[in-house]
Structure 1
Amino acid sequence: MAPEADRAGDAWSFEAIGTRWQVETGEPLSEEAQREVRAIIDRFDAEWSRFRPDSLVSQLARGAGWVSAPADADTLLAVYADLSAATSGAVNPLIGDVLERRGYDSAYSFVDHGPVAAAKNWQEQVRATDGRLVLDPPATIDVGAIGKGRLVDLVLACVRRHVGGDIVVDASGDLAARGTAVRVALEHPYDTTRAVGVIELEDAALCASAVNRRVWGDGLHHVLDARTGAPVERFAATWAVASDALHADAIATALFFDGGPELAHAWGADWVRMTTDGRLQWAPDSKAELFT
């Protein structure tokens, strides 16, 4: 997923959390603002990354029982509750142990030990209460279904505190635009030199997900069904547009499963998805221009 053409303004690019970021503003972003953005990303990573041994979720996975709750713990768990209900349990924040068992672990071993299901009663196992994030028994939280979208929103809010006018935050697949209209190409999951369509964003966010990202082994990729531990096979790519990146990211994940379109409708989100045999599906009132 990429902009069709360069946009006017000042651009700041950097690497963080294994992703290429680009922040475009109508005026240069100060060094102070850049430091604040990096601090926000580092704090989120220190709280939610299962790849960092010192993170809060890694402490919980080792049996800490509880940690001081991150400021957005309630928000993330509430979105996961909606995702889980809409997809009949296919999306679950305790998918981390399943991903690690299948080879997508903190050491990037990519050694598959077979499928297992994530805990069905995750809402009883993990909760935010009285300023604590509680997890009992120990398990590995993975917020990959919505985490980068949430982080894009946090970065956007920080940038808006420092500059006005047009702002675009692009985190390599999760993008939010304020003030300016942005035409974004929807990258073909099987041929990254092609697009399946374009969509225009203005004061909205677009998030994309595809099974050609983070692939290893024989047919293994990062989009797993929490009920079975198996990678999804019906859909190859999804794109979702919502008022913020958190909900766009959530819809992009939900669209790999039954119930995704219904959740998108309930949240007023636009969407497109591609099946693994190359057919496109889209929201009845989608504003995307698709090359069908």
Structure 2
Amino acid sequence: MHSWRFDAIGTRWEIETALPLEGATRESVGGIVAAFDATWSRFRDDSVVSSLRAEGGRATLTPAAADDAAALFRVYRDLGRATDGGVNPLIGSALDALGYDAALSLRPGAPQSALHEWEGVLRWDDTSLELDEPAVIDVGAAGKGRLVDLVSAALAHLPGRVTVDGSGDLRVRGGTARVALEHPYDPTFAIGVVEVTDAALCASAVTRRAWGDGLHHVLDGRTGLPVRTWVATWALADDALHADAAATGLFFDGGPGLADRWGVQWVRMSSEGRVERSPGFPGELFTAPGP
């Protein structure tokens, strides 16, 4: 297998292919990543979502970005309803308030909840994205999964197994990859393994993107504070968008039910070390599931 490693949207990526990637293919992937970042990054002053930060208003979307908006906000709608507002695409203001801001100051201030009724102030169509009031859109609950799917689709013409790994969110096509479920507190230890065949596996942990005194990137939109009960999640689905979204939802009480309705298999670990899994999860766990 040939490997191409690069940095994108603030994290490390790796693409494994049976044959080396040609320059034109790499340029195509780079263009997809750049366009996605130019629309959805809240860390860039010139992005589409940043243009709505201060005053709200209406921003023009390219056809590709409009497709992204439709896909992303559909899953956010389901996530928000299943978690009673715990997952919210306007959580960016709360992340900024705790120091996970565009400058990565990591200097926390007072917690700030997201807008609970985001569906009433955020709209999108085939050409635009609109906010009725100032807010910071953050699609981190599902955005990386969406981008993994886009990159994987761009490589569909390649023979053999193709694995697109966006730093823990991966999709495999044309074969099988055996993946370890990394322990959130010890990266040298796995709590289990699973074989991913023509599917996507996404993981999330509160030990990633953590700073300060118990602060991390998985916030409850109702309070603006980090979640505490669950510390790591894994979700296996047909596509990375739903796997990524389910991995976020699993930090909340309504997450398992939504994952089950989506047909997503999952595992999650609590702060006490207790492990839960969906009945059909095909992997092997090295620690016994909790009651």
Q: Using the TM superposition, give the Cα deviation of residue 132 of structure 1 relative to its aligned residue in structure 2, in angstroms.
A: 1.2
1:155 corresponds to 2:151:
yes
Q: Using the TM superposition, give the Cα deviation of residue 207 of structure 1 relative to its aligned residue in structure 2, in angstroms.
A: 0.3
Helix, strand or coil for the counterpart of 2:199? Answer: strand
Contact kept? 1:110, 1:217, Cα under 8 Å = yes
For 2:112, the equivalent position in structure 1 comes to 116
For 2:183, the equivalent position in structure 1 comes to 188
1:19 corresponds to 2:14:
no
- 2: CA distance between counterparts of 1:219 and 1:57? 28
Question: Structure 2 residue aligned with 1:42, among 34, 52, 61?
Answer: 34
Contact kept? 2:148, 2:169, Cα under 8 Å = yes
For 1:283, the equivalent position in structure 2 comes to 278
The residue identity in structure 2 corresponding to 1:125 is: V
Contact kept? 2:171, 2:200, Cα under 8 Å = yes
Question: Structure 2 residue aligned with 1:141, among 127, 137, 142?
Answer: 137
1:30 corresponds to 2:22:
yes
Helix, strand or coil for the counterpart of 1:39? Answer: helix
Query: Normalization by structure 1: what TM-score?
Result: 0.95
Percent of pairs identical after alignment?
A: 57
Q: Using the TM superposition, give the Cα deviation of residue 130 of structure 1 relative to its aligned residue in structure 2, in angstroms.
A: 5.2
The residue identity in structure 2 corresponding to 1:74 is: A
1:39-82 alpha-carbon deviations (Å, 9 max, x no partner):
10011000000000000000011225111132311111111001
For 1:207, the equivalent position in structure 2 comes to 202
1:164-217 alpha-carbon deviations (Å, 9 max, x no partner):
221110111101001111110000001111000001100100000000011111
1:139-164 alpha-carbon deviations (Å, 9 max, x no partner):
00000000000000000001114x12
Helix, strand or coil for the counterpart of 1:160? Answer: coil
Q: How many residues of Structure 1 are paired with residues of Structure 2 in the alignment?
A: 283
Question: Structure 2 residue aligned with 1:55, among 47, 53, 69?
Answer: 47
- 1: CA distance between counterparts of 2:254 and 2:177? 29
For 1:223, the equivalent position in structure 2 comes to 218
Larger mean Cα displacement after TM superposition, 12-21 or 262-271 = 12-21
Larger mean Cα displacement after TM superposition, 163-172 or 89-98 = 163-172
Contact kept? 2:56, 2:133, Cα under 8 Å = no
For 1:103, the equivalent position in structure 2 comes to 99
Instruction: Provide closer, same or farther for how the CA distance between residues 254 and 64 of structure 1 changes in structure 2, counting only shifts above 3 A.
Output: closer
1:68 corresponds to 2:60:
yes
Helix, strand or coil for the counterpart of 1:100? Answer: helix
The residue identity in structure 2 corresponding to 1:240 is: A
Contact kept? 2:56, 2:135, Cα under 8 Å = no
- 2: CA distance between counterparts of 1:56 and 1:232? 28
Question: Structure 1 residue aligned with 2:78, among 70, 77, 82?
Answer: 82
- 1: CA distance between counterparts of 2:280 and 2:16? 29
For 1:3, the equivalent position in structure 2 comes to none
- 1: CA distance between counterparts of 2:19 and 2:12? 21
- 2: CA distance between counterparts of 1:208 and 1:75? 20
Unaligned runs of 5+ in 2: none
Unaligned runs of 5+ in 1: 1-8
The residue identity in structure 1 corresponding to 2:2 is: D
Contact kept? 1:37, 1:155, Cα under 8 Å = yes
Larger mean Cα displacement after TM superposition, 260-269 or 126-135 = 126-135
Contact kept? 1:77, 1:127, Cα under 8 Å = no
1:226-254 alpha-carbon deviations (Å, 9 max, x no partner):
00111000001000000000000000000
- 2: CA distance between counterparts of 1:108 and 1:10? 34
Query: Normalization by structure 2: what TM-score?
Result: 0.95
